[in-house]
Amino acid sequence: MRYILYGCMAVLLWASCRPAKKVQRIENAISKKDTVQKVMVKKDEVDSLTIVKDIVHNLKTKRIDFTTFSAKVKVDYEDKNGGDGANANIQMQKDSAIWIQLTGPFGIEGYRLLVTRDSVKLMNKLNKTVVYRSISYLKDLTQIPFDFYTLQDLIVGNTIFADGNIVSYKNADAGLQVLIVGKIFKHLLTLDKNTNLVMHSKLDDVDSVRNRTCDITFSQYQPNGDVNFSAYRQIAVAEQSRLDVKLDFKKYIFNQPVTFPFNIPKNFKRK
């Protein structure tokens, strides 16, 4: 279960329709490695570029907003050492706290994690230990520049690392593909042509030496009030080795009271 926790942390730390059909295909299509190419836009392509920019802008303005969020998630995890599964109970207060409980077979609780804007507390209930760290611990653990706000966005299904310049786009069979390049990552977004919902998100390092990549597939979108929530996600993270995680949200509720129980027994050892 320790590997599941680290996997979840690494991953959890890594919406109209007609305009998309007008998008013109760019001569230099996005390559398999998403190589950055500067696109020269012709006059007859200006309207299409404007449409693409509007679609991407709407992704930012129509992000899932909430006061509180709670969910029960089935987690499946696999890396080079094998696979495993667990159930996660998640409670969040926006911009304040993220609480995660991991339970294994037979309902045995293994870990509790409490993340605030400046700290991380990790309780191992099997080994009776507790770890106190600054928020930078998440960055050190995953080697990815996640902060508290990125983590909460990833959990509720908002796009992350989508700031930057649109350098290419095309109307592909898989959907509208837009390549955005920021300071750290190249981000290839694939959007559904009818709804403009994000179907796939691929992050690659701008620095090719690092060769980090993260693939997130969003599916099973469900309407919840004025938002669409992706209830099933497949996530693959790779650098020197590969990590695959599936998140199956069995239950989720917005804007209901939440609690963050984190009472540490006296006999637990601090690390």
pLDDT at 162: 86
Bridge-based pairing state of the strands 129-134 and 269-270: parallel
**Contact at 8 Å (CB) between 146 and 138?**
yes
Instruction: Please report the pLDDT score of residue 259 as a whole number.
Output: 96
The 10 Å Cβ neighbour count of residue 58 is 13
- Give 33: exposed, middle or buried? Use CB within 10 Å, 0-12, 13-18, 19+: exposed
CB 71 within 8 A of CB 90: yes
Of 69, 58, 234, 244, nearest to 162 (Cα)? 58
Q: Which CATH number belongs to the domain containing residue 122 in this structure?
A: 2.50.20.10
Query: Which residues span the domain enclosing 53?
Result: 2-270
Task: Please enumerate in sequence order all residues whose Cβ is within 8 A of that of 142, keeping only pairs 6 or more positions apart, or say none.
Answer: 9, 10, 13, 14
Domain total for the chain?
1
The one-digit pLDDT tens for each residue of the chain (271 residues) are 444 444 454 444 432 223 333 333 333 333 334 444 444 444 344 458 888 888 888 887 788 999 999 999 999 989 888 888 999 999 999 999 999 999 988 889 999 999 999 999 999 999 999 999 999 887 776 667 778 998 999 999 999 888 889 999 988 888 999 999 998 899 999 999 889 999 999 999 998 787 888 899 999 999 988 889 999 999 998 877 788 999 999 999 999 999 999 999 999 999 8
Question: Is 11 in contact with 235 (CB distance < 8 Å)?
Answer: yes
Q: Give the pLDDT score at 142.
A: 64
First to last CA, the chain: 19
Helix (H) or strand (E) holding 11: helix 2-13
Q: Which of 244, 194, 203, 255 is nearest to 221 (CA)?
A: 194
Write down the pLDDT at residue 47: 59
DSSP lists the bridge partners of residue 115 as 98, 120
